[in-house]
Chain A
Amino acid sequence: MAAHLSSGRVNLTALREAGRRELREFLDKCAGSKAIVWDEYLTGPFGLIAQYSLLKEHEVEKMFTLKPGRLPQADVKNIIFFVRPKLELMDIITDNVLREDRGRGPQRDFHILFVPRRSLLCEQWLKEQGVLGSFIHREQYSLDLIPFDGDLLSMESESAFKECYLESDQTSLYHAAKGLMTLQALYGTIPQIFGKGECARHVANMMIRMKREFPGSQNSIFPVFDTLLLLDRNVDLLTPLATQLTYEGLIDEIYGIQNTYVKLPPEKFAPKKQGEGGKDLPTEPKKLQLNSAEELYAEIRDKNFNAVGSVLSKKAKIISAAFEERHHAKTVGEIKQFVSQLPHMQAARSSLANHTSIAELIKDITTSEDFFDNLTVEQEFMSGIDTDKVNNYIEDCIAQKHPLIKILRLVCLQSVCNSGLKQKVLDHYKKEILQTYGYEHILTLNNLEKAGLLKPQTSGRNNYPTIRKTLRLWMDDVNEQNPNDISYVYSGYAPLSVRLAQLLARPGWRSIEEVLKMLPGPHFEERQQLPTGLQKKRQHGENRVTLVFFLGGVTYAEIAALRFLSQMEDGGTEYVIATTKLINGTSWIKSLMEKLEPAPF
């Protein structure tokens, strides 16, 4: 079920196992048959920890989604709410509970499981509604870091960036630190900690403090990770704004990957049957899970999209050749061998069919004129061309009322690539946006300004060119097919965050002190003492393992770039990636937008 989690350098199955154990323990506390009422947002992350079968083994008989009104009938002893600690959800629970009281039928016990934390605020809210007392167990399930893949962990905390940089609420950093403590309990103390940014500093401080406060946490596990690198998202605001150009990145940009699943338009996946003439086309979106358990996907996910086509056609040839083999199978032995390989071949064929369809869908978009124009503007900005004046394409997009998020992504990108916009340029964009999309968006623009994404150039100095040149963020000769540098993930732009990781490994940050000072927040190094017996003696040629933790979110393209570094022959470092949330420019900007009333139509 979770074999892909153990495929990497660090076996993350252990983390998943720990999560499952905690879940079982909670379920067993509520003796008897149960129904779970789910906060829908949580079903995705939970799905990565446990399947329904596990719940069923622990007498979960029914599952509902949380919504206002009367709870559905279910002949169970316990009703358990699995929720995030959010006030609006508390209102729904209150409604459920109050209606239950008035109803007839067998008496049921209520419980709440807060994920990832109990919230005093929420409990108070429930109390004010007069229902707090109805809950027998109110507990928390610290689902801090969820294993997504063999080298990828996420907290799936959608608002972490907003909380940290807009509201100065560091709760998600506290969770990150706790998650890291859990990791250390399972995989040993991480001897070296590096970091860049305010939030990184906080997390490191918290880790050190937690360790000091629980001396018992000193464990005797041989450390799996050599280094932890904590990176603030606001050290690199640029990368998520650019359109990702890896296969996985594009799937996410266009369709949005949620908890490793993607929903796709069904047309291209229609089973090809002869003589039906396109009747009965499926209307439900096609849902696919995307992770490294699928051999083909593992191979192509991190490639530049332009290199995916050739792999797919090569695979197609291999598979058809394999199927052809059956004609050559003469002896019983040969036939038997062929048949034994059939299931594997069938799986490979359906995997190939799926990804060919996805690639077609993406190609339709990447070959469109607008995609090209948009990309051209992005690349101009990132390479430092015309970042200081109003851009025609952006104006055109506003005039044509393209989605606001697209506009904001571009304007923010321009602002970041120019260390802030000239006041006149900024005012012009603001005016056009407000006139076209509505004045109330002034609130969103304000948020973006606070987060540093969209701002006037204050110092009158543009640092970006220096940063770009020193860190070699723009590479003119990019090889998309056989990359030799991480810049292939954005077809020219090398993600700043990953460059920092790369330079840390070799030759070390001392070589870029000047640039580090231009980026926001402190950079630092900490060491955690290991008992003598646990100090590592590295075998010759053995790679170091670095955990890179992105505070505020990471994109699939950045992950791809780190995987590329892991696989470099003389790289010397393998990376495991952790984050508060998997993001792309759209989901990220969306999280910063002011929630407005839905339009009247």
Chain B
Amino acid sequence: MSRARADEEEYWHSSKFRAFTFDDEDDELSQLKESKRAVNSLRDIVDDDDDDLERVSWSGEPVGSISWSIKETASSSTSSLEGRDSSLQKGSSSYAAFPKQVSSYSLSSLFKGRNKLPSFQSLSDALSDTGVKNYAPELRRPKAEYKDYSNDWSPKDTVRRMQRGKVCSLERFRSLQDKLVLLDEAVAGHDGNVITAVLIFLKRTLRREILFRELEVRQVALCHLIHFLRETGEQKLLLDLLRFLDRTEEVALSQYREHLNIQDVEKRREFLKVCIGLPFSAEDISHIQDHYTLLERQIIIEANDRHLETAGQSEIFRKYPRKASILNMPLVTTLFYSCFYHYTEAEGTFSSPTNLKKTFKIPDKQYVLTALAARAKLRAWDDVDALFTTKNWLGYTKKKAPIGFHRVVEILQRNNAPVQVLQEYVRLVEDVETRLNLATKYKCHDVVIETYRDLKDRIQLTAYKCKVERGSAEEEKINSILNN
């Protein structure tokens, strides 16, 4: 307390403003309290240009005169916040001549969602939550901001002043009509800052149904309110509003968005389950359903695999410890994981790749690509081979790839497949030019030589001789072809 006072004094002494000093001995806290309460009740007074302690209100009566204070009390008691207000008006008149920086509270107070006194907390509030020091500077804010402050601004003027960052009280817009005019003015000004301020005032002072009804015909204001509710996380009101507007898909998406804030997977899963019942669009609903199913799966797989890993019994987990949990990973990542750790499992298990493929209707192409990448990473070349081998009804085997063998080669190459494996697939590339390019690039000499042989291109074949090692089997092969 005493430190705060010292600060205050220091400020006034060093400031060009004429100081107002409270008669506040330390033991006179109660008096100070009252003073500040009074100061607060003056929020609607004009701060004159001069520093005279005696002031005249906009209506011409000296501030602090009885008639003035009655009027003042009256006007605030008819405000939407009456009861609470009037009790604090007591004793205000005798302190009415303070500097009126308090008006600074009036606008920001509009934002209060709670039905607290608009302009002020009692000093004890101030003491308890932030300490006097925080409060004190508020009183000594430069008065320039509150100059030409008035009670009589039209909606238009009020909006214009707010646009200039000036402080205004909105409390005097009491009738629905007035409030709507104010809102329309704010919207016409296009300044989102002001529109939002007015909306918060409306939100606080209008019944929900009325607010919603009026906003429905005021699209711009409506958008601002929705944005505001989203920013400040007032999810419930937001959903009510969207429901009222019958914007069901938005309700659904907006509710679904919430899952991102849920860290606990079990809770997240529960939440997603509820989301399935939300009115999503026809296209979206299957994705949401899949999202839920996927997380459900991941939870099961994760529990299982963590157990396997810690038990140390499973070779694959010993050899390739998991880098991260599979929870909340995308579907394709999950498929990769399952191709990596659970490739051979029967279709009945949740973690088997074929089961995932079926459940989520993963296209062939996507499945083959993922499985190929996973098996190649493990250097399981037999699995890779099996992936592209199909048997027809006569029992003949045939190589087929839904993604084109050039892609297979690329993926294998990225996983450092040995040349023997690589060239098997390079050979299967249909387009001759692509095949030659890939074979040359990855030094699959046999394929290059055979292709030139089939093309009967002696010149290229001769030229290729310098690319193979001298005295190698490849060189011999070229020579024998050339000699034939």
Which A residues fall within an 8 A CB radius of B?
Answer: 85, 87, 101, 107, 109-110, 117-121, 123-124, 127-128, 130-137, 139-140, 163, 167-171, 173-174, 177, 202, 206, 213, 395-396, 399, 401, 427, 430-432, 434-440, 442-443, 446, 594, 596-597, 600-601
Contacts and interface: CB of A to CB of B under 8 A. Distances in A.
B287 A439 contact: yes
Contacts of B110: 124
A597 B260 contact: yes
B283 A437 contact: no
B343 to A, nearest CB: 19
Interface pairs A-B: 3 shortest CB-CB: A171-B192, A124-B111, A168-B223
Contact of B325 (A139, A439, A600): A600
Contacts of B20: none
A435 B253 contact: no
9 contacts: A119-B193, A120-B111, A170-B192, A173-B190, A434-B331, A435-B362, A442-B256, A442-B284, A443-B253
Contact of A101 (B133, B160, B193, B329): B133
Interface string B126-141: 1001110111111011
B324 interface: yes
B428 interface: no
A168 B126 CA distance: 38
Contacts of B165: 117-118, 139-140
A171 B253 contact: no
B257 interface: yes
Contacts of B331: 434-436, 439
Interface of B: 7, 107-112, 126, 129-131, 133-138, 140-142, 160, 162-163, 165, 189-194, 196-197, 200, 219-220, 223-224, 226-228, 231-232, 253, 256-257, 259-261, 283-284, 287-288, 290-291, 294, 323-325, 327-332, 360, 362, 365-366, 369, 403, 407
B133 A437 contact: no
A136 B140 contact: yes
Contacts of B130: 130-131, 133-134
Nearest to B111: A124
A435 B360 contact: yes
**Chain A interface main SS type:** helix
A600 B333 CA distance: 14
B283 A427 contact: yes
Given A169-B192, A600-B324, A127 B283 contact: no
Nearest to A436: B332
Given A87-B232, A174-B190, A597-B261, 10 more contacts: A118-B193, A127-B111, A133-B138, A134-B133, A171-B193, A430-B287, A434-B290, A435-B290, A440-B291, A601-B324
Contacts of B227: 167, 169
Contacts of A117: 165, 193
Contacts of B111: 120-121, 124, 127-128
Nearest to B121: A130
Contacts of A137: 141-142
A430 B283 contact: yes
Contacts of B131: 101
Contacts of B224: 167-169
Nearest to B289: A439
B207 to A, nearest CB: 22
A443 B134 contact: no
A119 B192 CA distance: 9
Contacts of A600: 324-325, 327-328
Contacts of A601: 323-324
A136 B141 contact: yes
Nearest to B194: A120
Contact of B197 (A121, A163, A174, A430): A121
Nearest to B198: A120
Nearest to A423: B283
Nearest to A438: B330
Contact of B231 (A87, A133, A168): A87
Given A399-B366, A437-B330, A121 B260 contact: no
Given A120-B196, A170-B192, A133 B134 contact: yes
Contacts of A213: 160
A596 B224 CA distance: 22
Given A135-B137, A443-B257, A121 B193 contact: yes
Contact of B223 (A124, A128, A167, A427): A167
Contacts of B220: 168, 170
B107 A168 contact: no
Contact of B138 (A132, A139, A174): A132
Contacts of B200: 121, 124
A134 B134 contact: yes
A110 B133 CA distance: 12
A439 B197 contact: no
B191 A171 contact: yes
Nearest to A176: B190
Nearest to A170: B190
A107 B7 contact: yes
B254 to A, nearest CB: 9
B160 A136 contact: no
A435 B367 CA distance: 11
A416 to B, nearest CB: 20
B137 A136 contact: yes
Contacts of A123: 108
Contacts of A174: 163, 189-192
A122 to B, nearest CB: 9
A435 B327 contact: no
Nearest to A86: B231
Nearest to B335: A435
A435 B160 contact: no
Contacts of A396: 407
Contact of B136 (A127, A133, A401): A133
Contact of A202 (B141, B142, B190, B256): B190
